[in-house]
Amino acid sequence: MLDLHAKYLIFLGGSESAGYAKTGRGIAYWRPELCVGELRLDEGAETVGLPAASLEEAVAAGAKTMIIGLTGIGGKLVPSWTPTLVAALEAGLDLAAGLHHKLKDQPELVAAAERTGQRLIDVRVPPANIEVGTGKKRSGKRVLAVGTDCALGKKFTALALHQGLVDKGVKATFRATGQTGILISGSGIPMDSVVVDFASGAAEMLSPDNEPDHWDVIEGQGSLFHPGFAAVSLGLLHGSQPDVLVLCHQAGRETINGYPHYKLPSLKECMQRNLDLARLTNPDVRFAAVSLHTGKLNEAEAREALKAASDEAGLPAFDPIRDGPAGLADAVLAAGG
Amino acid sequence: MLDLHAKYLIFLGGSESAGYAKTGRGIAYWRPELCVGELRLDEGAETVGLPAASLEEAVAAGAKTMIIGLTGIGGKLVPSWTPTLVAALEAGLDLAAGLHHKLKDQPELVAAAERTGQRLIDVRVPPANIEVGTGKKRSGKRVLAVGTDCALGKKFTALALHQGLVDKGVKATFRATGQTGILISGSGIPMDSVVVDFASGAAEMLSPDNEPDHWDVIEGQGSLFHPGFAAVSLGLLHGSQPDVLVLCHQAGRETINGYPHYKLPSLKECMQRNLDLARLTNPDVRFAAVSLHTGKLNEAEAREALKAASDEAGLPAFDPIRDGPAGLADAVLAAGG
């Protein structure tokens, strides 16, 4: 499995990359203690609020890896970045990225990595030794964030829940399943890149046997109601064999993101479908809470939406951004303790 | 998408391969009109009942492709085959195989293919241009074989059903989703080798828009109740957007093949789960029939098992090996006509 060496320097490119720093912002938000600074190529580049650091300053501050904190722009490695990426390797840093374009497909970077002995780490490449899922029960406790759709807060919910559990002194590990989560946490498996025969096996590998009172907090992917990505969600659900589920939803969203011809399920329908399928590998699975993305609402509207979601689901409902992670963590412990 | 050039010479290796000729036997059984003969390296090799043919005789009889009719033995290309495989390329034949070991990873074969201009066709390699599933309704009719488990007759059922439809003058295409089905039909997509994000998209690509009265008969994979392979089944179900489902089961099987800790679902439970999930992309989906594998039973026991399955499912039940394909084809047309 992937293993990044901290601390990190966050590379943000130049003005061409403005608006695409979601990954860098996630790392700076969730792992500030692992970040020594950010490196921007020009004044037009985005900042994620870290101190500016040159390669030399970063190395002196303990950086071991430069993470390309950008996604999108077609998932491309921009050619004008190359001298800086090569210089980072020469300065003694590993390079890590979650782009579609692989670092290891760039001859100049490969040559520099060989010359310097540094690593090129493409986090969207799954491990080679994944096996077919066995469905065998594993020790330890697991909670999985599932959703009515993609892109409505499953990663944020899992990271917040992990933080909430750690804050309470509970043994917990965040298990990343997508590129940004992997770069935030430093390890994980990119579920979207696994061959489908090994989907549940990858999820089994991601959360191995653990101590009975240890919680794996697993980042969800997709939705069982998504016509493109439901297979990812099901493989992850079966392989994770969660004890506890958290239902993620965005207040007011009515159709699948990018699929206006597909209506979102109701919370009840989404819960029932997840339970029906999850029971295959864990008959005792249950829901603990709703995590509601209310970012587009004012405070009064958000409280109303949270109450409505709680009433519909018959569960406590939180927006971890508004409410902090403690309530969510308590609900998970109450459901699975 | 893969496209094999008929006619075929079936390569069966030597005594080392005896017992592994399932793929060759399937091609000889289902596509005898496309086979010019079989090539065995020694007397200990298995026969699939085709006339013996040398490379020269096969070419003279119109062969364009030599298919390695073997699976298993660790999915390996046996080194002692190499001179014959090279000679086949030099005789003007393409080579096709569905083994885990790729023809294109063998330097001697690659060199011979380049020298002769013949093709090396690894059927377990999915097309490169698969997109994420859209869930958009396509024209034409589709029937998918689903099952309570793996390895209980979904491929045979789909091939028989296709034959039954063609016999009745119905426009129909068999759509292969596994290596043996692909080699039998000459085209298809190996669903087990697709990256999970593209699973439903691969199934959409496999059965494109067609004439309103044309039937795609789609080979099923896995089972929604399989802890290792349910994601394959779900991606195939969503992307196929079947109008009609046929439920495949083996009489007497009680646990998932190789997973003795997993009980098989009842026929009713399996039907309900498939309908619940299939309705996402085709709200009008319905079951037409049960296809029951009764190969281990005598005739009286088989009739009893078929009646019990029919009563439980509330559907006509057939064993297409005992009963031929006509009844199954009629049931599908009645359900989806």
Q: Are A96 and A68 spatial neighbours (Cβ–Cβ below 8 Å)? A: yes
Which of A134, A191, A194 comes nearest B227 by C-beta?
A134
pLDDT at B1: 64
The segments of chain A whose pLDDT lies below 50 read: none
Question: A206 in contact with B at a CB cutoff of 8 Å?
Answer: no
Which pLDDT does position B100 carry in this prediction? 81
Give chain B's count of helices (H) and strands (E). Answer: 12, 13
Q: Tokens standing for A173?
A: 């590990």
CA dihedral A83, A87, A88, A89 (to 10 degrees): 110
Q: Is the pLDDT of residue B74 over 70?
A: no
pLDDT digits (tens, 9 = 90+) for A149-207: 999 999 999 999 999 999 999 999 999 999 999 999 989 999 989 999 999 999 999 99
Instruction: Give the separation between CA B275 and CA B280, rounded to whole angstroms.
Output: 9
Confidence class for position B3, pLDDT limits 50, 70, 90: confident
At A76 the pLDDT is 81
Each residue's pLDDT tens digit, B83-110: 999 999 999 999 999 988 899 999 999 9
Mean pLDDT of B228-252: 98
pLDDT tens figures, B50-60: 999 999 999 99
Please list the residues that pair with A215 across neighbouring strands: A141, A172
User: Are the C-beta atoms of residues B27 and B35 closer than 8 Å to each other?
Assistant: yes
Q: Domains in chain B and their CATH numbers?
A: 8-122 (3.40.50.720), 141-336 (3.40.50.300)
A125 to chain B: closest CA residue: B195
pLDDT band at B73; cut points 50, 70, 90: low
* Cα B15 to the center of its chain, rounded Å: 26
Interface mutation vs chain A, best among B125, B197, B233, B263, most A CBs within 10 Å: B197
What lies within 8 Å, CB to CB, of A8 at 6+ separation is A27, A31, A34, A35, A36, A63, A64, A65, A66, A67
- Judged by a CB distance cut-off of 8 A, whether residue B189 touches chain A is no
B152 to chain A, closest Cα gap in Å = 18
Nearest to A227 among B194, B197, B280 (CB): B280
Query: What's the full length of chain A, in residues?
Result: 337
Cβ proximity of A110 and A122 under 8 Å: no
Whether B228 sits inside 8 A of A136 (CB atoms) is no
Mean pLDDT across chain B, nearest whole number? Answer: 96
Residues in chain B within 8 Å Cβ distance of A262: 135, 280
pLDDT at B101: 87
- Of the candidates B132, B230, B273, which has its C-beta nearest A200's C-beta? B230
Q: What are phi and psi of B186, to 5 degrees?
A: 90, -5
pLDDT at A74: 63
Backbone angles phi, psi at A209, to 5 degrees: -45, 145
Q: Which residue of B has its CA nearest to A261?
A: B136
Q: Strand (E) positions, B43-140? A: 65-68, 94-97, 120-122
The DSSP annotation for A81-119 comes to GHHHHHHHHHTT-EEEE--SS-GGG-HHHHHHHHHHT--
Handedness of CA A83, A88, A94, A95 (dihedral sign): negative
Quote the pLDDT of residue A226.
98
